[in-house]
Structure 1
Amino acid sequence: MDEELLVYEQDEVYTLPTSQEELSVSGKLRIIERRHGVVVEWRCSDDEATTDSEWAVINSAAVTFTHHNVSDSVEISTPRRNVRPIAIELVDLRSYRIADDDSLVLIQRDGTTHPALAFRSGSVLCFVEVLLRYVAVKRSEKDSNLYLVSDKRQAAMDEELSAMNLVPPRRGFPGAGGPNHWLNTQHRVWGFINNLKRDPYTTTVGALSKFYDAVLYTGVEGYIRESDGAEDDVAELFHSLNGFEDLEPGYELLTKKGTLAERPDVDRLAPLTHDDFQQFLDDDGRILDVEPLKQRIFKGGIHPNLRRELWCFLLGHNLWNSTYIQREERRRQRENLYFTMKQQWKTITEDQESRFTGFKERRSLIEKDVNRTDRNHPFFEGEHNPNVVLLHDVLMTYVMYNFDLGYVQGMSDLLAPILYVTQNEATAFWCFVGYMDIVYRNFDMDQSGMKQQLKDVHQIVHLVDPELMSYLEVRDSANFYFCFRWLLVRFKRELNYASTLRLWEVLWTGHPCPNFHLLVAVALLDTEKNTIMENKFGFTEILKHINDISLRIDLDATLKKAEAIYLQIASSPNVPDCVRTVLGLPLQEPSTSQLRIRKDDEVDGKATDDRSGSDDGEVIVASGAGLVEVVSNMIGTAVRHLSGDDLTDATLEVIPRQQDDAEKCFEAALSHQFI
């Protein structure tokens, strides 16, 4: 057994709950010196008893759910929590986050993100002080709550490099001359040189595109110098090369400065109550104004007592303009139809099934899936639970209703919350039919529907956050495969049950636009952006981090951000038509960029070194002559490499191989994240 030296220990360090109903788990946080290295460790306390109800501890199952009985008159809470112990060697610790409430989140190099820890006694600063004995810590420039951990020797080398002042500060740049500014400049310089050695083709094209972007879209006045000093040109160039610190070979980085409007602040409302709903009904039960009601549900969701009734409207089981009597008649008719279809598959004999391969395979898959769907929820837990039987029967009946689609893994995840809310077999079936009419493309055999949604997310992120898009492209993650599970089951595995129900009813309203779930995904990525980029996560680490944030998502904050992103896009000019189509926005008139192309065609072949610019903001390339000279001198070798005749053939040979690799990557991500 290794010798151990305990250098730090703090009792009463609690996990923070992921919902209001969930309870915390008490534990001890330690830093231990061992023969093979230093370890940060958190484990549950042996004695969990406490008289303080606010800090009551239950450590038995997995997640917390609130169960509403059929009459909705009594709410039964079942608090539960299972927290794995934490053990991290310091060499594997990439960063940590200290929230405004002084809670601590530890993040590993492989993307593992541990539960937030709160200090009931003592201070997180004491932990940090001991940590500083072994590692160097730097506060993130982009996220004041994030602290980056590095080896002390490497940090000392970076400081020495910064002290050399190889590159001067950018003239007029805020904070020029500060230590963080110098450090980032040196990283850009050495990162660029290192990339040039590894992949001159990609680095050269990327650098020239960055240079073109900076000159073309910043304006002439930003690049006219009072003096033609080469040092200023060098500094300006490398400040325009943001994102090239760790460029991987084979990527061409092209980023254009955005023209989006300012993102507004939005508010959410309280859930729709029974009294609120009555204002939308006439004496016969018709809903008078459907869209205002949907807008109200979008802004606040639905109170649990009202959810069963309104879900039937949102999912098409009830018609909006029907009366009480008409809805009851429709319910009886559809119930009879459901049990007729159910009887069809129940009367299939074993002999028939032996010659009905498709049916047999789907039955087998359903039986496997229902036995592992939400079994930690009180509504489905336990052996011989009749609700699990209902889940099975509804899915089997859907096979008979829509045999072309049949059953695909993931459908049980979409049905389970509907069955829990409606608590009626036939009603759950028809609501599930309505939901499948919305998301059926998620279950295409060739996965074309899912791939299209991932492409749509790509388009939106490219518009809203070019910096993040550039980073993901460099890190081989621009395919957004890590969002696959989010979109497939509409974030069900990322949220607790109560939040899942609220999110789904918000999405079903169709407000404020089609495909709002894509903006929810973009909002989550925006929230995790700094953690991903500052920790320099690659594809595997991003996938691990995305999986680890499940059950820790703030739904209200995410919905606010998603709506704000929509309003930002909707109020912005020059939004690409591909994004407008996805979000249901009207297509725009021919853009100024198209007019500019025509203008460029008119002057094609003429000398451009004496152009004085145009009214639409095009700039004189000659104005940046000093900068061009610097670029040419620094990457001359790479430019000569570009002039070789062998590049085209080599590039063409790589394309099929890249396509095969992308397909394999997609399948691997699907397996790792969902199945």
Structure 2
Amino acid sequence: IEQLADEKTCMQFSIRRPKLPSSETHPEENSSRRLDVSAWLQHLNQHGQVQEEYKLRKAIFFGGIDISIRGEVWPFLLHYYSYESTSEEREALRLQKRKEYFEIQDKRLSMSPDEQKDFWRQVQFTVDKDVVRTDRSNQFFQGEDNPNVETMRRILLNYAVFNPTIGYSQGMSDLVAPLLAEVLDESDTFWCFVGLMQNTIFISSPRDEDMEKQLLYLRELLRLMHPRFHQHLCALGEDALQMLFCHRWILLCFKREFPEAEALRMWEACWAHYQVRGTANPAWDLTPQHCRLSRNSLSSKIAKISRVGDYGRGLSMQQEDGTLGMSELHKEVFQEMQNTLF
């Protein structure tokens, strides 16, 4: 911790712990190499079906997916394609889903003037503001009048029509942008996004009770995994236990807390659902790692809740390689929480 002499006292946290000790990692860590083209093809039979789904998910969890085939593999992880589907069946599905997608878009474009007015106020105004500032450092979305930005805009607007219960809330553009950059096709990206929203429990919903449920989950996880940190928050009072500094971690699945390459590696590892039931929220798989990497830097002298918030936000982009080391203890605790809390 560095304290900088100035008119105001500043606290700067720098977290550098590139590798977890072997005692804290899963016993099968480093058991799989990255899934590249040749390895991916070995998982497919002559009809294009995935032969052993469990082994594939294990390989993705431990080794990740080569960027060159993410657009082909992610649709399986996001429940757009079935692992049992053949190449011909997937192509037929794409044609069917493309037709459905443009029917959704036609419904949006054929709204009455009153419907358009309400839609603009409730959805489109926010989408238009968000898409132009989402992932602009990514070359895929850079530049003025970038057609990919307009494609992302259409996907989000069409999703709001497809699922009016959720509609659109800030943060969803951060979730769909990486999908579009890897999957590329507009319709395919849309349906991958639908799968992402249906099969995960991170917050892309405006309801406060949803976020509170996630923070309850997080508080219990910290109580079991890192009692010292939990006790510190308890000592600070109810405001600290609200853990508002973790809001962005959950909302965007750590996307802004890590470099993009690591964030996407985390996402696909969690989407693989290896040895984990239910949630695919990277927040639950990775929060213990986030805290483990940072716990030695937690100062017991942080007495103000505002500084706890600064601490949480200060972890952004301060992690190094090795964050994905999954501990056996974490998996046991996670299963216990699923059985007791829900």
Interval of TM-score (by shorter of Structure 1 and Structure 2): 0.7 to 0.9
1:88 aligns with 2:9: no
Query: Aligned residue for 1:334?
Result: 97
8 Å contact from structure 1 (residues 491, 500) kept in 2? yes
SS of 2:318 mapped into structure 1: coil
Equivalence for 2:49: 286
Partner of 2:318: 552
Q: Contact 2:25 / 2:327 at 8 angstroms: preserved in 1?
A: no
* Aligned partner (choices 127, 130, 138) of residue 366 of structure 1: 127
In 2, the alpha carbon distance for the partners of 1:427 and 1:563 equals: 34
| 1:273 aligned residue | 36
Say whether the 8 Å CA contact 2:62–2:269 is kept in structure 1.
yes
In the other structure, the counterpart of 1:437 is 198
CA separation of 1:350 and 1:114: change in aligned 2, threshold 3 A:
farther
* 1:115-126 aligned within 5 A: none
Quick one: which amino acid aligns to residue 417 of structure 1?
Answer: P
Q: Percent identity?
A: 27
The structure with the largest helix share of the pair is 2
**Counterparts of residues 158-557 of structure 1 (less than 5 Å):** 263=24, 266=27, 267-268=29-30, 269-348=32-111, 350=113, 352-354=115-117, 357-358=118-119, 360-439=121-200, 442-476=203-237, 477-514=240-277, 515=279, 517-536=283-302, 538-554=304-320, 556-557=321-322
- In structure 2, the CA distance between the partners of 1:429 and 1:326, relative to structure 1 (3 Å rule), is same
Give 1:140's aligned residue. Answer: none
Cα drift, residue 439 of structure 1: 3.5
Amino acid of the residue matched to residue 323 of structure 2?
T
The alpha carbon displacement at 1:359 in A equals 5.2
**Quick one: distance in 1 between partners of 2:103 and 2:211?**
33
1:274·1:306 contact (CA, 8 Å) conserved in 2? yes
- Matched residue type, 1:521: T
**Cα distance, 1:546 vs structure 2:** 2.1
Q: CA RMSD in A?
A: 2.7
Cα deviation, 1:563-612, whole Å, max 9, x if unaligned, reads 34324648xxxx9x545446x9xxxxxxxxxxxxxxxxxxxxxxxxxxxx
Following TM superposition, by how much is the alpha carbon of 1:481 offset from its aligned partner in structure 2, in angstroms?
Answer: 2.0
- Residue 365 of structure 1, CA deviation: 1.1
Whether contact under 8 Å (1:471, 1:533) holds in the other structure is no
Report deviation, 1:444.
3.5
Q: Counterpart of 1:329 in structure 2: which amino acid?
A: A
| Partner of residue 17, structure 1 | none
Q: Give yes or no for contact 1:271–1:303 (8 Å, CA) kept in 2.
A: yes
* Counterpart amino acid of residue 566 in structure 1: H
Where structure 2 has 5 or more consecutive residues not aligned to the other structure, the ranges are: 18-22
Contact 1:486–1:492 (Cα < 8 Å) also in 2 = yes
Q: Deviations over 1:487-517 (max 9, x none)?
A: 1111111122211221111111112314463
Residues 302 and 264 of structure 1, relative CA distance in 2, 3 Å threshold: closer
Instruction: Work out the CA distance in 2 between the residues paired with 1:326 and 1:400.
Output: 27
The residue aligned with 2:329 is 565
Q: Identify if the C-alpha distance between structure 1 residues 549 and 484 changes in structure 2 by more than 3 Å, giving closer, same or farther.
A: same
CA contact (8 A) 1:459 1:579 kept: no
Structure 1 stretch 538-547 or stretch 496-505: which is displaced more? 538-547
Equivalent AA in structure 2 for residue 454 of structure 1: L
SS at match of 1:483: helix
Which residue does the alignment assign to 1:161? none
Q: Which residue identity is paired with 1:543? A: G
Measure the CA separation in 2 of the matches of 1:392 and 1:568: 41
2:20 maps to: none
The Cα shift of 1:91 comes to 8.1
Structure 1 residue identity aligned to 2:178: P
Contact preservation (8 Å) 1:507, 1:517: no
Tell me the matched-pair count: 329
Stretches of structure 1 that go unaligned for 5 or more consecutive residues are 1-39, 41-86, 94-107, 117-142, 144-261, 585-675
Higher Cα Rg, which structure: 1
Q: What is the identity, as a one-letter code, of the residue corresponding to 1:113?
A: F
Verify: 1:113 aligned to 2:29, yes or no: no
What's the offset of the Cα at 1:438? 2.5
Say if 1:335 and 1:265 are closer, same or farther in 2 by CA, change over 3 A: closer
Amino acid paired to 2:79? G
* Higher relative contact order (Cα pairs below 8 Å, separated by 6+ residues): 2
Q: Which amino acid aligns with 1:468?
A: F
In 1, Cα distance between equivalents of 2:339 and 2:225: 13
Q: Is the 8 A contact 2:202 2:253 kept in 1?
A: no
1:309-343 Cα shifts (integer Å, max 9, x gaps)? 11011111111101111111111111111111112
Given the superposition, is the C-alpha separation of residues 347 and 440 from structure 1 closer, same or farther in structure 2, using an over 3 Å criterion? Answer: farther
**Structure 1 residues 358, 384: closer, same or farther in 2, change over 3 A?**
closer
CA deviations 1:265-314 (Å, max 9, x no partner) are 64234321111122221111111111111111011110011111110111
Output the CA distance in 1 between the equivalents of 2:251 and 2:171.
7
**In the alignment, residue 80 of structure 2 is paired with which amino acid?**
H
Q: TM-score, normalised by structure 2?
A: 0.87
Q: Partners of 1:321 and 1:544 in 2: how far apart?
A: 47
How far apart are 1:413 and its partner, in Å?
0.7
**Structure 1 segments of 4+ aligned residues over 3 angstroms from their partners:** 90-93, 112-116, 262-266, 349-352, 514-517, 562-565, 567-570, 577-582
1:451-472 Cα offsets, whole Å, 9 max, x none, are 1111111112212222221112
Choose between structure 1 and 2: higher strand proportion: 1
